[in-house]
């Protein structure tokens, strides 16, 4: 069988890797659901696409969202994800 091989574990670094900013550089932490920014989730409906952090906006990188959605869809059998 020619099943693709995937690592057993995929570890995502958060700051400036999974999302687009270093959190220590944000002007404030997100502090309430009213700071959520709703948007398109790669054609899978709308959901939280970012969050306001004072004067900054924190968003997932587009590739990060694709990778997490792929994992949730079972595209990487047996692989675990750590954040």
Across all residues in the chain, what is the average pLDDT?
Answer: 90
Instruction: Please state, in angstroms and rounded to a whole number, the distance separating the CA atoms of residues 6 and 74.
Output: 12
Q: Which of 9, 12, 2 is nearest to 83 (CA)?
A: 12
pLDDT (tens digit per residue) in 31-59: 778 899 999 999 999 999 999 999 999 99
The pTM score is: 0.81
| Residue 59 pLDDT | 93
Grade residue 30 by pLDDT with cuts at 50, 70 and 90. Answer: confident
pLDDT at site 1: 62
Number of Cβ within a 10 Å radius of residue 55: 8
- How far is it, in rounded angstroms, from Cα 67 to Cα 61? 10
């Amino acid at each position: 069988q020619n099943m693709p091989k995937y690592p057993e574990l995929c570890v995502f670094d958060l700051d400036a890797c999974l999302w687009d900013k270093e959190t220590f550089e944000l002007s404030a932490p997100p502090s309430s659901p009213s700071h959520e920014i709703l948007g398109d989730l790669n054609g899978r409906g709308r959901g939280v696409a970012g969050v306001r952090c004072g004067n900054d906006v924190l968003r997932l990188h587009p590739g990060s969202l694709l990778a997490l959605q792929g994992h949730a869809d079972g595209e990487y059998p047996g692989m675990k994800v750590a954040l």
